[in-house]
Amino acid sequence: MPSDTPPSDDATRAETTRELAMALGRINRALARAYPGPLATGALSALATVVREGPIRVGDLARREGLQPPNMSRIVAELEREGHLERHTDLDDRRSVYLVVTEIGQATFDDVWERRSRALTEGVRAMDEPDQQTIRAMIALLRQLGERIERRHDNP
């Protein structure tokens, strides 16, 4: 039997966050199905981070991806074997090594990004204009949300 009392703010927030997480997950899965790409999800995510952030240490990449260093080392080894990443020694500190995207890695990332973007474009195009305007307005909010979450987890 439905209650006549409105849900508490905390209950509403919890439901909103659950629904948002489920919607974002569904979009990501749909895009991955639209074009799976040549890499496993974790490898593609790591490659995307190196593309986006430039040269990065393995430990920093593991933190950014939320993985333990041994797991990230396995992913990096796979990406190196397939020619997507290279290790470069830091000239200022010869003990430090940075991961750098290769031409193959950049081309793979660009291809996956382009194909998945096309699938997303088709989905947005199928919406009516008011819904497209809502999506455009949501983009800034979703970016802000992502930045807040990253700041909170990068600086506990």
For the domain that residue 61 is a member of, what is the CATH number? 1.10.10.10
47-52: long-range contacts at Cβ-Cβ below 8 A with a sequence spacing of 24 or more? 47/79, 47/84, 47/85, 47/101, 47/105, 47/108, 47/109, 48/109, 50/85, 50/99, 50/100, 50/101, 50/105, 51/101, 51/105, 51/106, 51/109
Shared-domain flag, residues 140 and 111: no
Shared-domain flag, residues 76 and 106: yes
Q: What's the distance, Cα to Cα, between the start and end of the chain in Å?
A: 42
Shared-domain flag, residues 36 and 88: yes
Q: Which residue has the tokens 């593991």?
A: 62
- Does some domain include residue 151? yes
Q: Provide the pLDDT for residue 91.
A: 80
Shared-domain flag, residues 141 and 83: no
Shared-domain flag, residues 140 and 95: no
> What is the residue-level pLDDT of the chain in tens, covering all 156 positions?
455 556 578 889 899 999 999 999 999 999 999 888 899 999 999 999 999 998 999 999 999 999 999 999 999 999 999 999 999 998 887 788 899 999 999 999 999 999 999 999 999 999 999 999 999 999 999 999 989 988 887 765
Shared-domain flag, residues 137 and 119: no
Shared-domain flag, residues 62 and 137: no
Q: Provide the pLDDT for residue 155.
A: 66
Shared-domain flag, residues 113 and 143: no
Shared-domain flag, residues 71 and 118: yes
Q: Provide the pLDDT for residue 94.
A: 77
pTM, full prediction: 0.79
Show the domain range for 136.
Answer: 128-156
Number of independent structural domains in the chain: 2
Residues 38/83, Cβ–Cβ less than 8 Å: no
Q: Please name the residues in contact with 135: beta carbons below 8 A apart, sequence gap of 6 or more.
A: 124, 127
Q: Which residues pair with 100 in a beta bridge?
A: 86
Other CB atoms within a 10 A radius of the CB of residue 13 amount to: 11
- Does some domain include residue 12? no
- Does some domain include residue 144? yes
- Does some domain include residue 108? yes
Shared-domain flag, residues 116 and 138: no
Quick one: which of 42, 23, 43, 41 has its CA closest to 32? 41
Q: Provide the pLDDT for residue 1.
A: 47
Q: Is 43 exposed, middle or buried (0-12, 13-18, 19+ CB in 10 A)?
A: buried
- DSSP characters over 44-103: HHHHHHHHHH-SB-HHHHHHHHT--HHHHHHHHHHHHHTTSEEEEE-SS-TT-EEEEE-H
Shared-domain flag, residues 115 and 136: no
- Does some domain include residue 104? yes
Shared-domain flag, residues 60 and 120: yes
